[in-house]
Chain A
């Protein structure tokens, strides 16, 4: 068998998924009743509804790998543990008092019902809330509307199978538009990853994407680059879902990204988020320490669980080796010249050192995306132009981040011309004959080539 086409070890994927489910069990046991409150760092606060819903979501994704007995028995045990929390008095009252959030409170119930754990009484109150006047009383952005549409669809028709119609809000979501790959926020990245999860429903009842999947994964590559360089494995793991969810073949960049995440997980014992601080852990003891660790770490572990569950699906598993058929000879070396100027120590760089020359060249596009982002965030627009020129010469500029970078530089050139015009107007208004040195010089082509 061609080594390059060998799939990632499925037992390894199953082991990682089981780890996520085991953490799910602990998190529900310890935190589902009251959530978690951190008086020192309120950003770590966790309301019970959030982790209950997320655990149910993980179970749903894991159910696609339920043919594996270790996974199946964990799903069953965790579902049983989750049921009383999913249908607690808190959830019931939440639906009563806030019908516009009925599905939010019911999310875990809907997922559990789909897994074969229904509850007619909860359905009764949910139906009453969904029929109320205030049902749509809170405005939502498109990916949150998609969430509502997905939940409604799953609740009303839990039977697996492809659906012929798109979810209405998909066309208005970020899934249907080019993202701002250069300056978007983390929330924008979550908007994309969540929209994709709702439209594709972990391939249980997938719907049509509003845009070609090649365009979606091209954008995802740029976002993956940012996540890896910022060592943000929560968004990075969700971005990697783009490949198994869309069914697009795993690219060299995505395989590399997956490898980085697995290596980090193996070295740390879990896929970490930056919210888990060792100095804080050392100050805590006993139950407080355990709760802090669970509250800050569970989420990114869950994301790894979602990713591995989806990667276990037939035809969705990443290859064991980085494909090198798209390698551009010398591409990696050229781009690393731009990256190595700031000596940043990052996990992806450690992984890069393990690759062969062709494998590094195969991920030259990913490295280029990292370089774009670094130069933009540090305002090195001169270097950015050089980078674009070098990339174009190597045939690497056929990607959305490259053209968005070019468009941004074009806008900055217009900005420079406007500033120069304004300065000249001020000079004339002051009736000054002194030649002002401006901060920007716009040269003609003939002058620049002298």
Chain B
């Protein structure tokens, strides 16, 4: 394994060797706080709005819904000949 790989392993081992913590309980607390912790995706997000005044090439907005069923897309793909 590379030196970098060893470094990552050592960090993991350090955590595994440390005293036990109830991470499941912590997860519940984080879930309660979760929504208020989100700092991204405010309307002005993007470096105080300056990002919106540029031409954003090779980036697209993701509506965060699943990709459509592939068979259905194939039925309309003919229009993209």
Q: Given the complex of chains A and B, what is the CA–CA distance between A101 and B52 in angstroms?
A: 13
User: Closest chain A residue to B68 by CB distance?
Assistant: A278
A interface footprint on B47-77 (CB within 8 Å = 1, 0 otherwise): 1001101111111111111111111111011
Interface bracket on B: 35 or more
Q: Given the complex of chains A and B, what is the CA–CA distance between A406 and B77 in angstroms?
A: 44
Q: Given the complex of chains A and B, what is the CA–CA distance between A392 and B66 in angstroms?
A: 33
Establish whether residues A416 and B63, one from each chain, have CB atoms under 8 Å apart when the complex forms. Answer: no
Q: What chain B residues lie within 8 Å of A117 (beta carbons)?
A: none
Establish whether residues A412 and B23, one from each chain, have CB atoms under 8 Å apart when the complex forms. Answer: yes
Q: Given the complex of chains A and B, what is the CA–CA distance between A99 and B42 in angstroms?
A: 29
B interface footprint on A250-287 (CB within 8 Å = 1, 0 otherwise): 00000000000000100111101111111001000000
User: Closest chain B residue to A147 by CB distance?
Assistant: B57
Quick check: is A8 within 8 A (CB to CB) of the other chain?
no
Shortest Cβ distance from residue B38 to the other chain A in the assembled complex, whole angstroms: 10
Q: Given the complex of chains A and B, what is the CA–CA distance between A133 and B29 in angstroms?
A: 53
Quick one: given A57-B57, A234-B60, A268-B74, are A274 and B66 in contact (CB under 8 Å)?
Answer: yes
User: Closest chain A residue to B65 by CB distance?
Assistant: A274
Shortest Cβ distance from residue B80 to the other chain A in the assembled complex, whole angstroms: 6
Quick check: is B36 within 8 A (CB to CB) of the other chain?
no
Establish whether residues A413 and B74, one from each chain, have CB atoms under 8 Å apart when the complex forms. Answer: no
Quick check: is A303 within 8 A (CB to CB) of the other chain?
yes
Quick one: given A50-B55, A269-B77, A381-B27, are A299 and B60 in contact (CB under 8 Å)?
Answer: yes
Shortest Cβ distance from residue B53 to the other chain A in the assembled complex, whole angstroms: 7
Q: What chain B residues lie within 8 Å of A231 (beta carbons)?
A: 66-67
Interface residues of A in 212-238 (CB under 8 A from B): 212, 214-215, 218, 231-234, 238
Establish whether residues B70 and A409, one from each chain, have CB atoms under 8 Å apart when the complex forms. Answer: no
Q: What chain B residues lie within 8 Å of A41 (beta carbons)?
A: 63
A-B pairs, top 3 by smallest CB distance, nearest first, are A269-B77, A382-B24, A398-B5
